Amino acid sequence: MKILIITLLFLAALLKECVPVRFEYLGVPGFVLLGEPVWLDCGYELEGNELYSVKWYKDNVEFYRYLPSDNPSALRYKLDGVYLDLERSNATHALLYKTEMQTEGMYGCEVSTEMPHFRTIKAEKELYVYVIPEGDPAIFGVMNRYPIGSAVNVTCVFGPSKPAAELTWYINGDKAPEAYVRQRQKEIYQNELETTKSRLFFVVDPSHLRQGTLSLQCTASVSLIHSKSSIELIVNDGSSGAEFLHVPHVPPGLEGPSITGSVSRYYVGDTVDVNCSSARSLEPAQLQWFVNDNEVKPEFLSQYPPTIYPDGLSSTKLGLRFRVQEDHFRSEEMRLKCTATLAKIITMTTVKTIAVGPQRTSGFQVSSNSAIGWKNVESKSLECMAILTSFLTLYLS
């Protein structure tokens, strides 16, 4: 009995040695708008151990330290772009009371336990700082009226912003043909801000009329990335006999994408036919496939519609299919990686509604259809001018 008790005590001590501190989540928001404050949350479980320290890093440089055994417990270090509110920071949270462009970076939390069971764990996540202009996109070059046969030549401008916007033109609510969009360009300013411009050019014909008017719409869409996670298959050449490894690249507290359809070995000439599925999320994830760190071309991808669940969450799926070539194996291994990106899309729109006048002619004419889309007062004015012209012609003759 005594031996059993000693054995149990020994096993309990051994298990205590093996119990690690672990992360439950890392609360670093994916992005923040310029100037806004941000809370950094380090969620950890000590598993019965005693806390020694919590340290926060930006790009591997320490800016905040919390040691419960010290007095004072909290200590900050000056770092460009990091505006720490020391009074409101503690063992689990750090508050940045404002942000600037230099605030952007990789934020890491490191947790250590006291001796004799000393353990240290660290997790990190990217924080992006974005800039969104207050105004909607601006449309320049619009005239008050366009006769049939005249040219519409207008430019839409949005920015400066970060990231750059994607501009889309619509005519009467329908997306403009690509042939109408003559130019797209981006101008880069300091602090990585970009202004986006797009020019729309086409000749007005009767098909462009909607109750005598022409509606031009420019929409600016800005994609604010707030999370990226990946899963990677490292596949050895089938002749080596080694099987592939799954390597997840997922911040703590998040669920990354998954890969299905893979086999244990691939030989040159085999067909890779796999699918990547994102975790459930509020916004549909954008999936990308990479082979040996090179993004896969569209002809090797299979697009699937998103899956919508009863709770309102959704997941996306992207297939990859290609035949294995010798050059796919670098140093006897091939890397297949799927990355899931979550982004919030902000959309801003400007609409211009323009009157469309009569067909352009070489001389002064008044016809029965000349008032298409014109206001009644303008039609009456034309009639009065015609009567006056006729009167003057008779009088002068």
pLDDT tens digits, one per residue of 198-209:
999 999 988 887
| Residue type at position 92 | T
Q: Do the beta carbons of residue 343 and residue 226 sit within 8 Å?
A: yes
The neighbouring-strand residues paired with 317 are: 277
Over range 219-224, report the average pLDDT. 94
DSSP state of 297: P
Quick check: 26 pLDDT over 70? yes
How distant is the alpha carbon of residue 279 from its chain centre? Answer: 16
- Select from 89, 88, 85, 79 the least CA-distant residue to 98: 85
Identify the pLDDT of residue 358.
63
Instruction: Reply yes or no: is the peptide bond before residue 29 cis, omega within 30 of 0.
Output: no
Report the percentage of the chain scoring pLDDT > 90. Answer: 53
Q: Which of 181-185, 240-244, 322-326 has the lowest mean pLDDT?
A: 240-244
Predicted confidence at residue 366, as pLDDT, reads: 26
| 283 or 150, which is more confident | 150
Distance of CA 371 to CAs 187, 354, 360, 374, Å?
A: 43, 15, 13, 5
- Alpha carbon of residue 39 to chain centroid: 21
Both tokens of 353, joined, read: 């509604």
Percent with pLDDT over 70 in the chain: 82
SS3 86: helix
- Helical ranges in the chain per DSSP H: 2-18, 376-396
Q: Which 3 state secondary structure label does DSSP give 124?
A: strand
Q: Identify the pLDDT of residue 265.
A: 81
* Whether the Cβ atoms of residue 99 and residue 32 lie closer than 8 Å to each other: yes
pLDDT computed for residue 98 by the predictor: 96
**d(C-alpha 29, C-alpha 251), whole Å:** 11
Highest mean pLDDT among 116-130, 165-179, 261-275, 375-389: 165-179
Q: What is the pLDDT of residue 198?
A: 96
Position 386 scores a pLDDT of: 36
Mean pLDDT (whole number) for 96-121:
91
Classify residue 383 as left (phi > 0), alpha (psi -120 to 50) or beta: alpha
Give the pLDDT confidence score for residue 6 in this predicted structure: 44
Which has more confidence, 19 or 281?
281
Q: Give the confidence band of 393 by pLDDT, cuts at 50, 70, 90.
A: very low
Which pair of tokens denotes residue 322?
A: 């290609």
- Tell me: pLDDT of 352 over 80: yes
- The pLDDT of residue 11: 41
Sheet strands (E) in 82-163: 93-96, 105-113, 120-130, 138-140, 151-161
Q: Stretch 366-389: mean pLDDT, rounded? A: 32
Confidence of residue 16 (pLDDT cuts 50, 70, 90): very low
Residue 259 has pLDDT above 50, yes or no: yes
Mean pLDDT for the chain overall: 82
Residue pointed to by tokens 């119990």:
19
Phi, psi of 373 (to 5 degrees): 80, 0
> What is the tens place of the pLDDT at every residue in 71-96?
999 999 999 999 999 999 999 999 99
Q: Is the pTM of this model over 0.75?
A: no
Paired strand residues for 159:
none
Per-residue confidence (pLDDT) for residue 20, from 0 to 100: 67
For residue 330, pLDDT over 80 is answered with: no
The two most distant CA atoms of the chain are separated, in Å, by 137
pLDDT value, residue 213: 83
Higher-pLDDT residue of 311, 287 = 287
Q: 111-129 pLDDT, tens per residue?
A: 999 887 788 888 888 999 9
Q: Which residues contact 141 (CB under 8 A, 6 or more apart)?
A: 153, 154, 155
Q: What pLDDT is recorded for position 118?
A: 82
Instruction: Give the residue among 119, 139, 150, 110 at the shortest CA–CA distance from 218.
Output: 139
User: What is the C-alpha to C-alpha distance for residues 296 and 171, in angstroms, rounded to an integer?
Assistant: 34
223 touches 162 (CB < 8 A): no
Q: How confident is the model at residue 359 (pLDDT cuts 50, 70, 90)?
A: low
DSSP 326-366: GGG-BTTEEEEEEEEEEEEEEEEEEEEEEE--SPP-SS---
